[in-house]
Amino acid sequence: MSLESTLFRRIMSQFPTGVTVVTTRVGDYLHGSTVNSFTSVSLEPMLVLVCLDKKGDTHELLLKSGIFAVNILAQEQEGMSRLFATKGEGHSHNLDQVAYRLGVTGAPILEGCLAYLDCVVAHRFPGGDHTIFIGEVVDGALIREAPPLVFFRGKYVRLLESP
Task: Name the residue ranges covered by the structural domains of the chain.
Answer: 38-141
Q: What is the pLDDT along the chain (163 residues), one digit of tens a residue?
A: 688 989 998 999 999 999 999 999 999 999 999 998 999 999 999 999 999 999 988 999 999 999 999 999 999 999 999 999 977 655 567 888 899 999 999 999 999 999 999 999 999 999 999 999 999 999 999 999 999 999 999 999 988 775 5
CATH of region 38-141, choose from 3.20.10.10, 1.10.10.10, 2.40.50.140, 2.30.110.10: 2.30.110.10
pTM: 0.92
Write out the chain in H/E/C secondary structure.
Answer: CCCCHHHHHHHHCCCCEECEEEEEEECCEEEEEEECCEEEEECCCCEEEEEEECCCHHHHHHHHHCEEEEEECEHHHHHHHHHHHCCCCCCCCECCCCCEEECCCCCEEECCCCEEEEEEEEEEEEECCEEEEEEEEEEEEECCCCCECEEECCEEECCCCCC
Listed residue (77, 97, 75) closest to 31, CA to CA: 97
Phi and psi at residue 63, to the nearest 5°: -60, -40
